Structure 1
Amino acid sequence: MAEKNNSHEELAGAKFFWVTVLNVVITIAEFVGGALSGSLSLISDAFHNAGDSVSVVFSYAASRISLRKQNARNTFGYKRAEIIAAFLNSIALALICVFLIIEAVKRISNPQPINGNLMLIIAVIGLAANLLSAFLLNSGSKSSLNIKATYLHILSDALSSIAIIFGGILIDLYNWTLADPIVTVIVAVYIFYESIPIIRQTFRILMQGAPNLDYDQIKHDLLQIDGVFSVHHVHAWMIDENNLIFSAHVNMHDMKLSEAQPIYSEISKVLKDKYHMCHVTIQAETTRGEHEDIIYDRGNDIP
């Protein structure tokens, strides 16, 4: 959990402030520079940066909400706030990419005059600011999908700036104005491709999807515990990318509750130490369901 807390600190205070300021400055510079130079790639990147500014604020708010304690209203806490933020940010990024590709295709069929020198200058400024923002968010992106989604926004802008610089050089030296929409398409396709895994993972979490676990091995491990002779009706799901929940029905010999408690403790220890479950719920039974499959399936999602 210490690593998770550190990820929140990455967006706190001065770092959060400067990432936001840098994105606002880049956005204004690229809108003005794009309008003056006629560069679609600069204007598209300005829209992208404007989205990033919202993304950073959104991510920070979600990270603060996720720190709230569990209560009667949310018994699992508020960690899903970050997953929702990551999901929405990634969806927005993908939609922006689609819009940029459409606009770039229009430009390819109808080229516009572009001031390559001004385009190049603005892109260099944008690259420097984006690299600094990416550096500020880098460490937190390793432990949080929320921060990773925001980091991807910033990093993609840095890559956009590199591509725009390359396009500006081609336009300035050879007056090849098609470089601008072509660069836009290449960058947009790359960003879209990078967004899809985050969308898929966050959607899976929000849909109560199960983590990637070897359920047969889990059953095998639990059956090695003295007193357990069957495991069935297993459910596993993710609160966020770092917290896994597990519940199961376990068949045990008829015994006193005080005798069953050590077996409960051993089951929890195996699941937490080997499979990194943060919360384990076990329902003890004698013979009920002992011949059922480990994953419950009676035509209903939840019996």
Structure 2
Amino acid sequence: MGHNHSHGNHHEVQGKNLLFSIILNLVITVAQVIGGLISGSLALLSDALHNFSDVLSLVFSYVAHKLSQKEASINQTFGYKRAELIAAFVNAMTLIIVAFFLIYEAIERFFNIHTIASDLVIWLSLLGIIVNGLSVIMLKNDADKNLNMKSAYLHLFTDMLASVAVLIGGLLMKFFQWYWVDSVLTLLIAIYLLFVGFDLLKKSTQMLMLFTPSHIDIKEIITEVHTIPGIEKLHHIHVWYLNEDELHLEAHLECQEDIKMTEFNEILQKIEHVLFEKFQINHINIQPEYKKEETSKDFIVQD
């Protein structure tokens, strides 16, 4: 059986940036809750609720990040590498739940408009923009390489946008007394949360379910591998992400001749090169076969 490990796409994320963002968001959450209750602003309270969900999500992401770095053991042969995918999934669900709650509150408040202390809304929204903006900058690089960090980044980025919207609303309420803007902004924030939440939920679910990545074409893999001399057929193929750094392929390989293991190793090396260079597959597990009875005719088989 051939087995290859390559980590050409590995990216070391900075957990300390996430920890700092947790502290910053905890401070802004407390400030916005107090300010929202004093001012009567639903948009400010919704932003605070969103921030609080972010604090919980960021803590979850941080714990998952630390778990993912633990070494594998006899009982956990993959370690905790998929913990970050679970964190991304849960974070996506919290975004969606918060969004539906905000939609309900915004609609109810729209028909019961309240006078709002706009000055407090303005100053706290500015504080939210600064704090979340700083957190977004710190996590941007990691978010491009890691789905868990992207989930944390999206939480913070939507917070920053929400704070910008709340600031605009505060200014409109201060100078024009348009208090209905508070409900409209809350609704817009919620709709945006649904958009990013469902996208993140879809990606994390696909990885957790071990679906073939969207950029991978199994038929193209077969075509490429079958050009290598000595190969009869590649079948029982599975391709999946263990985490975002590790793209796995396992398959059975029917050889044309009853070859020695040293000859198979040469074939395997060529397969590893093709799959890594053309498809970025860095973990390959191949089971060699020769005229095995009841060999499946299908490329994809439910084992």
Q: TM-score, normalised by structure 2?
A: 0.92
Does the 8 Å CA contact 1:231/1:250 hold for their aligned counterparts? yes
SS in 2 for 1:234: strand
Indicate yes or no: 2:269 matched with 1:265.
yes
Q: Within 2, Cα distance between the matches of 1:130 and 1:234?
A: 44
Please tell me the root mean square deviation across aligned C-alpha atoms, in Å: 1.6
Instruction: Find the partner of 1:107 among 103, 109, 131.
Output: 109
> Alpha-carbon deviations, 1:117-163, whole Å to 9, x = none?
22111111111111111111111111010010001111101000010
- Number of the residue aligned with 2:3: none
Instruction: Find the partner of 2:260 among 256, 275, 294.
Output: 256
Instruction: Find the partner of 1:96 among 95, 98, 102.
Output: 98
- Number of the residue aligned with 1:279: 283
Please give the residue correspondences for 1:182-201 in structure 2 after superposition, counting only pairs within 5 Å.
182-201=184-203
> Alpha-carbon deviations, 1:207-246, whole Å to 9, x = none?
1111131222211111111110212111111112231111
Structure 1 residue 290, shift from structure 2 partner: 5.9
- Range with greater deviation from structure 2 (287-296 or 130-139): 287-296
Instruction: Find the partner of 1:219 among 222, 228, 233.
Output: 222
Q: Residues 278 and 49 from structure 1, CA distance in 2 versus in 1: closer, same or farther, beyond 3 angstroms?
A: same
Letter in 2 for 1:295: I
Q: Within 2, Cα distance between the matches of 1:248 and 1:292?
A: 13
Structure 1 residue 16, shift from structure 2 partner: 3.6
Does the 8 Å CA contact 1:37/1:116 hold for their aligned counterparts? yes
> Alpha-carbon deviations, 1:23-59, whole Å to 9, x = none?
1111111111111110001011111111111222211
Indicate yes or no: 2:299 matched with 1:294.
yes
Instruction: Find the partner of 1:163 among 160, 165, 184.
Output: 165
Of structures 1 and 2, the one with the larger relative CO (CA 8 A, separation 6+) is: 2
Letter in 2 for 1:121: W
Letter in 1 for 2:297: E
Runs of 5+ unmatched residues, structure 2? 1-6
Structure 1 residue 108, shift from structure 2 partner: 0.7
- Number of the residue aligned with 1:239: 242
Identity of aligned residues (%): 34
Does the 8 Å CA contact 1:233/1:292 hold for their aligned counterparts? no
Letter in 2 for 1:282: I
Q: Within 1, Cα distance between the matches of 2:163 and 2:203?
A: 28
- Number of the residue aligned with 1:80: 82
SS in 1 for 2:12: helix
Runs of 5+ unmatched residues, structure 1? none
